[in-house]
Structure 1
Amino acid sequence: MTEIHHPWTAADQAAMAAFRAKLAAHPIALTRTSFDRIVEQSAPLVDGVDYSEARVGGIPGVWCTPASRQEGVAMLYLHGGGYFLGTARAFRGFVCRLAARSGVAAFIADYRLAPEHPFPAAYDDARAAHRDLSQQLGAERVAIVGDSAGGGLALSLLQEEPSAACGVLLAPWSDLALTGNSLDTKAADDPVLTRSVLEDGVRKYLGAQDPRDRRASPLYGRTRGTPPIQVHVGTAEILLDDALRLGSSEKTEVHVWEGMPHSFPRSVALFEAARAAQEIIAAFLRANLVPTTDVRSMPITEISS
């Protein structure tokens, strides 16, 4: 595993201080509605991308299809939210940027959420969507991408689906047994995520089932034989160790961003690091999915509200 460290910029230090102050003054009551609103505000939609609802493998979701795209490749995006929050619609603004910059159409899966649909519902849905993309829809090369809980879900699939071309994990929640030291050592630094929120997610998703089941906690799955994987994580988040303990595979590249909070690449309106991380992710996707150089990063123009 290769670690690449990115320094904290002065602009992001100021942005992070303002972000902390805003959260301290206006704490957020975490609900499905408030979570979706936060995600949507962090990354507005952009022009040059078509958004369409569809079903892939029987799983509902949203396609983000850039005007300039490569045929025969696709991205499966698995959203975060602790397995009990999040929708494909809310994540369009972030995923459309990855699609536009990489030239790869992306399907955001609306996998079933807990507690209504406990483990392994999310895993089963993600697997069904991936297999339909690769086997039925003609995508010759598929990337599996996800953030937080979706990042852990993506890694579980990457360990079991040899046909996947590559994966990108943003602050992956890889250990539902909650054994990482950073859960405690980074608790005071993390302005977004808490151990109690993760414990709530475990209760709702797993109940009394084994938290070390590799389908829920890929940290305990195999580390060899996976396709190339790129990971992004901030140093100001309690899931730091979930990213740093992923194993020694020579095809895993971990980008560690100084001072950044949980799933920071989604916050394009706030952090320079988010925009820089997106460029790195897009280049990785192009290198592993698009063998030619005819698809370049599209200019990003936000849709006026």
Structure 2
Amino acid sequence: MSDIIPFPQNKEKLIKDIKTHFEQEKYEPMYDTFMKYEKEFELTTELALLKCEMLLRMEQYLELREEAIVLLKQGFDAYNQLMVYYITSLHGLGQYYECIEVFNQIIEQVEDHNIRMQLYPIKEDAQMQLNENKKHYIARIQQFTELNVNQQLYLIFDLMHEGQYGFIDTFAELLSSHNFHSNVQTIILEYLKKGQYEKKVDFSKYETDFSAYPARLPGLEYASFTQHVIPKVLERFEDNYGDQLRSEISQMLQSFAIALYPLEIEEVATVNVWVNTFYHYIEQMLNLSFASVENLNQDVYAWISKVEKNIKQ
């Protein structure tokens, strides 16, 4: 019995259906027709813009953002209009800070008056939304020392997500004048770094004095412990025991990375010593080996002990 060969979709018919659905404001069937079209054919610039307009009218802002990013990367010759859709999607998603950031990056390059007039109202409304949100945060920040650890962390994460970096002086003062949980101290430093706080901040962590210029810090993601110790410990553990516990060990090491930041670990011991000590520490913790104490560098182990107490709080 011969295979059935599916009859290919008629390109012109699909394009006609897309445009008809659009004119009739039937966006659901229009969306389905686009799915059929893209299985077999490449989008033209006209169709790409039509698809973005459809997603906008459907208020599918997340998909609109992703679509605009893909189309921009593909180099369609409608850069300005695609940027309008991209910035509109950020606004629709409530990503007001990112919306303003992108606007500021591109507006000088946009010469078309009509495009500029589409962009300015979006940016100005995003700014108003940020200003309105700022009033909400003031009261919460004034009560910051009264919040529990999770509430403090959530508030700072929320401020970063909303691009609210107008409180850097306040948080620098909080960090230098209060002995917060070590994770809270770390996230305050991340907030100050992202807010480009240039001044020196003095604070105490694990009864150790720190001085930092937040804008100059590498950031938690790029700290030496995150970049070098974690992957080497994981690799060594997997070589000896497989990857069954990779997720749990990785999570534990990430907790240590947050707790230790911004400690310059190589001022305590070399990266290899940190890796070796953490590896044997994990072995002992999991009862996989009873390594002698000499395998645990005492300076590094002292920091591990401090962090352990902090994590258990």
Higher RCO (C-alpha 8 Å, min separation 6): 1
Hey, which of these two has a bigger chunk of strand by percent?
1
Hey, which of these two has a bigger chunk of helix by percent?
2
Q: For the pair shown, which has the larger CA radius of gyration, 1 or 2?
A: 2
